[in-house]
């Protein structure tokens, strides 16, 4: 039997039609992505949300995370749990979320300094800060510069003058390669003196030694320091907020003497990169509603913090600026994580 052959000229229109059909299908599929994303956001969340805190239970991020989890669960009508994944200066938990599916069900709550100074002091990590995208900064707590009670200074000018004439450098307790160390170094340089940095594994240990009179000074968030100040264990001489801070009445800002000097603990909520913008917007709007509640605002003030007020785009720009700022301090002072 003679094999049938197809006329090439008749095959070409068929091939063209097939290609056009495939192209049209691809275009339709592409056009449907925004609709699918919007649909996903409309139905989100449909199951439990996990907030990873890359620190042990009981710390600032953990306390805030549990407050937020309760409020988010009530507003989103789904359970929200907090899971602690401590270690690696916050990088273990951050890497876990960075590598999670970008679907809004695995979120990260941490001190943003892990991401803004991390690339400079600890460049060898299993993830990049670019693998995460910001949602909100529900709480900001500025640094409080505190000194031991018998140090004869009451403000920043007196501290600088005392340091310049003292035969022994003022000791400054801090976790090494931390935001508090970098902030202390930058402050001292701007005021024309140098601290004798004493390294600690954690900020709580430094503050305990300060209260006991073993070291002269320390710098930590208002959340960590304010109870010691209120209890008369240490003296507060400056706060690093842009304007006078509600939780530290009567304490002068560093910015009043060094324009633009703002540091502290920004507690940020983030999601994996490529999470649909509509889901990020829904989470951001929900967080904004939560922090606007009088009861939640009161909780923040009692902790020694306040919401930052930045939106997602502003946070992303702020992260770039902070990374550059602290990268210079790290390089100029040859600071490395142990």
Same domain, 113 and 66: yes
Co-location of 151 and 252 in the same domain: yes
Task: Determine, yes or no, domain membership for 181.
Answer: yes
Say if 2 falls within a structural domain: no
**Structural domain includes residue 40:** no
pLDDT score of 237 more than 70 = yes
Q: Which whole number is the average pLDDT over 234-261?
A: 96
Q: Is residue 10 part of a domain?
A: no
pLDDT of 38 reads 52
231 lies in some domain: yes
The answer to whether residue 15 is domain-embedded is no
Domain stops at, among 219, 239, 256? 256
Q: pLDDT tens digit string along 142-187? A: 999 999 999 999 999 999 999 999 999 999 999 999 999 999 999 9
Looking at residues 213-226, what average pLDDT do you find? 95
Position 42 confidence tier, pLDDT thresholds 50, 70, 90: confident
Contacts of 211 (CB under 8 A, 6+ apart): 148, 228, 233, 234
Domain presence at residue 338: no
For residues 70 and 293, the answer to whether their CB atoms sit within 8 Å is: no
CA atoms within 13 A on the CB side of 103: 14
Are 236 and 309 in the same domain? no
From 232, 256, 280, give the residue that closes a domain: 256
Residue 152, domain extent? 142-256
pLDDT at 6: 44
Say yes or no: 180 and 248 in one domain.
yes
pTM over 0.95: no
Q: So what's the pLDDT on residue 151?
A: 97
pLDDT tens, position by position, 50-78: 999 998 888 889 989 999 999 999 999 99
* 135 and 272 belong to one structural domain: yes
């Amino acid at each position: 039997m003679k094999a049938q052959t197809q006329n090439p000229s008749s095959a070409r229109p068929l091939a063209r039609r097939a290609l056009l059909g495939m192209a049209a299908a691809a275009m339709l599929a592409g056009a449907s992505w925004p609709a699918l994303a919007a649909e996903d956001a409309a139905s989100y969340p449909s199951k439990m949300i996990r907030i990873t805190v890359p620190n042990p239970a009981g710390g600032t991020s953990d306390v805030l995370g549990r407050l937020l989890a309760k409020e988010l669960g009530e507003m989103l009508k789904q359970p929200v749990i907090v899971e602690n994944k401590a270690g690696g200066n916050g990088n273990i938990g951050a890497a876990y979320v960075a590598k999670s599916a970008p679907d809004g069900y695995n979120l990260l709550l941490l001190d943003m300094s892990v991401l803004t100074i991390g690339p400079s002091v600890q460049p060898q990590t299993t993830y990049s800060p670019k693998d995460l995208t910001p949602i909100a900064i529900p709480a900001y707590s500025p640094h409080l510069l505190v000194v031991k009670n018998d140090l004869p200074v009451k403000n920043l000018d007196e501290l600088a003058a005392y340091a310049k004439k003292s035969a022994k450098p003022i000791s400054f307790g801090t976790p090494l390669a931390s935001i508090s160390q970098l902030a202390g170094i930058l402050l001292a340089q701007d005021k024309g003196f140098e601290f004798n940095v004493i390294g600690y594994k954690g900020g709580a240990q430094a503050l305990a030694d300060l209260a006991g009179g073993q070291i002269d000074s320390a710098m930590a968030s208002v959340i960590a320091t304010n109870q010691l100040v209120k209890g008369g264990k240490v003296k507060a001489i400056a706060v690093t907020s842009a304007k006078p801070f509600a939780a530290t009445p009567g304490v002068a800002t560093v910015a009043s003497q060094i324009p633009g000097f703002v540091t502290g603990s920004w507690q940020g909520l983030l999601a994996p990169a490529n999470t649909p913008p509509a889901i990020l917007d829904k989470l951001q709007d929900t967080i904004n509603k939560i922090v606007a509640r009088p009861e939640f605002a009161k909780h923040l003030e009692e902790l020694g913090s306040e919401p930052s007020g930045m939106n997602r785009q502003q946070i992303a720009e702020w992260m770039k600026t902070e990374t550059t700022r602290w990268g210079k301090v790290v390089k100029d002072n040859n600071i490395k994580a142990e």
